[in-house]
Structure 1
Amino acid sequence: MRLIIIYLVGLVFGVGISISGMANPAKVLNFFDVAGAWDPSLAFVMGGALIVTFFGYRLVLKRQAPLMSTSFQVPTRRDLDAQLIGGAAVFGIGWGISGFCPGGALPALGTGRSEVFIFVLSLLAGIIVARWLQVAIVNRAPARIRQIEEPK
């Protein structure tokens, strides 16, 4: 039953990404082209997602636990650090250059377009390199810092 629900959630997500046009990099790139062929529809997609998230979190977090787990996995850190800001900057630059975000690229794999596969392979390589850098930085840190920041 759990696998069926996971499949259905993924299906709804993929259909939503496709209907909204987020699997089309031209749609995203035109949103960023404010001096040219600007397409404001991405703002409506983001606004819709923000509204659903705003009310959805309030509704779901009233429960004792999620349907498919024993507890909620809610972030506890609220500070902004270099890792968060740097990651967000790299994400935004990659999205602006390619027109793909990971959420839109995964359903777009079904199109069979080579640029989607290149993006996803680059995404995976970036994840591996970032993880490697994170481990390398932590291993070079003094023991007292390593104890606090060591990735799990």
Structure 2
Amino acid sequence: MNRAVLSALASGALFGVGLAISGMTDARRVLGFLDVAGEFDPTLLFVLGGAVVTTLVAFRLVLARAHPLFADAFRLPASRRIDAPLVAGAAVFGIGWGLAGYCPGPALAGLGAGSVEALWFVPAMLTGLLIQRALAGRPGTAPGDEKPPAA
């Protein structure tokens, strides 16, 4: 296994452990955050706040480098447009997250932890992914969708 794959696996494992420690693999935490009229649980707000601060600092440090440690260039989205497919996708994602209490990261971490809910959610999520790709008429990221950041 090469260093890039090992780095991705280590990053994913660290992310999963962070989700588990913060309790975000428990769908009831997310649903409790959305239940502002009932038993509100602010845990997600603190996790999101910590993630935003960490990301702001990390992106500044990482993008100051000429290239990533295990690649020739950074691969960032080229488009900055907010179009109908982006808004529709965000809406479907948000509705699904609100209904199920899971988004992809916590669902996969929950699956690894043996969560029965995640066992039901992950196949449904993958089915939605395949349907979206079929409707979009593309098997993956189109060439030219990514470009290195401007210097």
TM range (shorter): 0.7 to 0.9
Return the alpha-carbon distance in structure 1 between the equivalents of residues 115 and 23 of structure 2.
15
Q: Which has the larger radius of gyration?
A: 1
Return the alpha-carbon distance in structure 1 between the equivalents of residues 94 and 9 of structure 2.
28
Partner of 1:71: 73
Return the alpha-carbon distance in structure 2 between the equivalents of residues 30 and 94 of structure 1.
15
| TM-score, length of structure 2 as denominator length | 0.86
Return the alpha-carbon distance in structure 2 between the equivalents of residues 128 and 4 of structure 1.
26
Provide structure 1 residue ranges, at least 5 long, that are not aligned to the other structure: 137-149
Give 1:112 deviation, angstroms: 2.2
Q: Does the CA-based 8 Å contact 1:135-1:151 persist in structure 2?
A: no
The aligned amino acid for 2:72 is T
Question: Residue by residue, what CA displacement relative to the aligned partner does 1:5-26 show, whole Å, maximum 9, x if unpaired?
Answer: 3332222111101011110000
Partner of 1:130: 132
For structure 1, which segment, 1-10 or 122-131, has the greater mean C-alpha deviation from structure 2 after superposition? 1-10
More helix per residue: 1
Residue-pair matches, total: 139
Return the alpha-carbon distance in structure 1 between the equivalents of residues 129 and 67 of structure 2.
30
The aligned amino acid for 2:114 is G
Provide structure 2 residue ranges, at least 5 long, that are not aligned to the other structure: 144-151
Partner of 2:29: 27
Return the alpha-carbon distance in structure 2 between the equivalents of residues 133 and 75 of structure 1.
21
Structure number with higher relative contact order (C-alpha < 8 Å, ≥ 6 residues apart)? 2
For residue 39 of structure 1, give the secondary structure of its aligned residue in structure 2: coil
The aligned amino acid for 1:82 is A
Match runs of 1:53-68 below 5 Å? 53-68=55-70
Question: Residue by residue, what CA displacement relative to the aligned partner does 1:41-93 show, whole Å, maximum 9, x if unpaired?
Answer: 11110000000111111110010111121110111211100110000000000
Partner of 2:101: 99
Partner of 1:11: 13
For residue 76 of structure 2, give the secondary structure of its aligned residue in structure 1: coil
Partner of 1:37: 39
**Segments of 4+ in structure 1 off by > 4 A?**
none
